[in-house]
Amino acid sequence: MKRILFVCHGNICRSPMAEYVFCDLVCKAGVGDRFSVDSCAVSREEVGNDVYPPAKRVLLAHGIPCPKRGAKELTVSDAETSDLILCMDQNNLYRLKRYAVDFSKVSLLGEHGLGGKEIEDPWYTDRYDKVYREIETCCKALLRELCEKE
């Protein structure tokens, strides 16, 4: 089973959106048993908080289940046991350094389907629909890439 970890700043917008979108895609593709999917933050600011309401609304509007959850900070164990760590922006990548992460398994989510583009933080832009579309595009590309490798 391949362990996929999505990472953003606070784990209340982008990374849980990616987690839920990717989970939905693997289930619909009938390969849910091949992946363990999770998300976390590179900060402690939002630990324990649920998915931010505008992000949750966008997911639900697209038929993506979004159960209540608590944001969590990345741990060294998460970093060690993940097979693939996907960050939303360069700042997230930079902050991974303090977790002694093996960077051979780290990439920007946008490297899968968006030519390396960063996924902007909708907390500041309020463009949750745009971020959802980008995350969906990247998750579809990522799933294709992973299934082709097996």
Residues 61-75 have pLDDT tens digits of 999 999 999 999 999
Q: Which of 8, 13, 138, 139 is catalytic?
A: 8
Question: Catalytic annotation on 121?
Answer: yes
Catalogue the long-range contacts made by 130-134 (C-beta closer than 8 Å, 24 or more residues apart).
131/13, 131/14, 131/17, 131/55, 131/58, 132/17, 132/21, 132/58, 132/59, 132/62, 134/110
Mean pLDDT across the stretch 99-122? 93
Residues 30-51, mean pLDDT to the nearest whole number: 97
CATH of the domain at 13: 3.40.50.2300
Whether the CB-CB separation of 42 and 9 falls below 8 Å is answered with: yes
CA–CA separation, 125 vs 68, rounded Å?
A: 24
Burial class (CB in 10 A: 0-12, 13-18, 19+), 87: buried
Q: Kindly tell me if the per-residue pLDDT of 100 is higher than 80.
A: no
Select which of 13, 14, 87, 138 is catalytic: 14
Confidence of residue 108 (pLDDT cuts 50, 70, 90): very high
Write out the residue range of the structural domain in which residue 113 sits. 2-149
Number of domains into which the chain is organized: 1
Mean pLDDT of 32-45: 96
- 24, 38, 89, 121: which is the annotated catalytic residue? 121
